[in-house]
């Protein structure tokens, strides 16, 4: 059986369920792929899945690599380099984040319209890879046509979507109230510990990107609420069916 995927999905927080909908699948544990890092964080398995979803050949990453785990940015973004080599043209990514926009609620889905790179190391640091220019344009890191498609699908399925700017930090601490407020003042609507490096490298490889975040906690408001990994996962599980519907339909129609 062979597949020739043009679509890749990073099954971040909230998209785990989508893996079970992939048919005709064959899987490669990361540990069996040369040079692939291995994921260490609880709740993130580690394998590449090839198969069919929504009538399309797809490649899915179950488990991703975070900078806070100790990988350098070349390791964190190695899978996007592999995607490029395999001919991937569109990448769907999901994550969990803390919301700072006062209109957001826990469990909301936020379409990522733009990002702020607040990681201490740049994934394109060093000799330029010939997949893209030395100084890549980032005006439309998140594809506007895919955002419009998500909006249409959400309307059809009666799902409310938020839209906003995702700010990527190294973690692993969640933010102090002052940090949440600062990031909001800087123009971010949500903050999280992934996605930005992967998107930068995907764009450098000419891969179109769509990203969606589950708001799993809120920060920077008058009453500070404690955040834990368990709470984040609980909120993410609640929002999972909505996220899955939108992504599945997008892949079918994109």
In the complex, minimum distance from the CB of residue 19 to ligand HPA, in angstroms, rounded to a whole number: 20
In the complex, minimum distance from the CB of residue 155 to ligand HPA, in angstroms, rounded to a whole number: 27
167 counts as binding ligand HPA under rule CB under 6 A: no
98 counts as binding ligand HPA under rule CB under 6 A: yes
Distances from the Cα of 156 to the Cα of 40, 105, 238, 245, 247, angstroms? 38, 22, 20, 11, 13
16 vs 51 by CB, closer to ligand HPA: 16
Using the rule CB under 6 A, give the single segment among 109-117, 122-130, 146-154, 185-193 that binds ligand HPA.
185-193
227 counts as binding ligand HPA under rule CB under 6 A: yes
The set of residues, in sequence order, having a beta carbon less than 8 Å from that of 32 and lying 6+ positions away, is: none
15 counts as binding ligand HPA under rule CB under 6 A: no
Distances from the Cα of 28 to the Cα of 20, 25, 31, 100, 183, angstroms? 15, 10, 8, 38, 38
Q: Which of 19, 58, 232, 239 binds ligand HPA (CB under 6 A)?
A: 232
116 counts as binding ligand HPA under rule CB under 6 A: no
175 vs 198 by CB, closer to ligand HPA: 175
Both tokens of 171, joined, read: 């973690």
109 counts as binding ligand HPA under rule CB under 6 A: no
Q: Number of residues in contact with ligand HPA, rule: CB under 6 A? A: 13
d(CA 125, CA 121): 7
97 vs 162 by CB, closer to ligand HPA: 97
Beta-carbon-side half-sphere exposure of residue 57 (alpha carbons within 13 Å)? 11
Residue 15 burial by CB count (10 A; 0-12/13-18/19+): exposed, middle or buried?
buried
Contact assessment for residue 182 and residue 98, using Cβ atoms and an 8 Å cutoff: no
C-alpha closest to that of 30 among 8, 13, 9, 45: 45
14 counts as binding ligand HPA under rule CB under 6 A: no
Using the rule CB under 6 A, give the single segment among 35-43, 71-79, 196-204, 212-220 that binds ligand HPA.
212-220
Distances from the Cα of 103 to the Cα of 16, 37, 152, angstroms? 27, 38, 21
12 counts as binding ligand HPA under rule CB under 6 A: no
In the complex, minimum distance from the CB of residue 97 to ligand HPA, in angstroms, rounded to a whole number: 5
Kindly list the residues in this chain that would bind ligand HPA in the complex (CB under 6 A).
96-98, 174-175, 191-193, 216-217, 219, 227, 232
């Amino acid at each position: 059986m062979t597949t020739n995927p043009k679509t890749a999905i990073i099954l971040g927080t909230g998209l785990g369920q989508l893996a079970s909908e992939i048919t005709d699948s064959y899987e490669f544990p990361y540990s069996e792929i040369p040079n692939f890092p291995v994921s260490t964080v609880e709740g993130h398995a580690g394998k590449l899945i090839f198969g069919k979803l929504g009538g399309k050949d797809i490649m899915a990453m179950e488990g991703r690599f975070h900078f806070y785990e100790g990988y350098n940015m070349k390791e964190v973004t190695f899978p996007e380099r592999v995607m490029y080599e395999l001919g991937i043209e569109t990448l769907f990514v999901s994550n969990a984040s803390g919301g700072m926009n006062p209109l957001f609620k826990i469990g909301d889905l936020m379409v990522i319209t733009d990002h702020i790179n607040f990681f201490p190391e740049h994934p394109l640091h060093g000799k330029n890879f010939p997949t893209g220019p030395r100084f890549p344009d980032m005006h439309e890191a998140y594809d506007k046509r895919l955002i419009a498609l998500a909006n249409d699908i959400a309307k059809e399925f009666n799902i409310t979507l938020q839209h906003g700017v995702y700010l990527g930090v190294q973690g692993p601490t969640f933010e102090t109230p002052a940090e949440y407020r600062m990031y909001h003042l800087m123009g971010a609507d949500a903050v999280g510990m992934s996605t930005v490096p992967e998107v930068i490298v995907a764009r450098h490889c000419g891969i179109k990107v769509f990203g969606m975040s589950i708001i799993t906690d809120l920060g920077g408001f008058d009453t500070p609420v404690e955040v834990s990994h368990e709470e984040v996962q609980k909120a993410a599980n609640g929002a999972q069916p909505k996220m899955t519907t939108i992504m599945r339909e997008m892949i079918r129609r994109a």
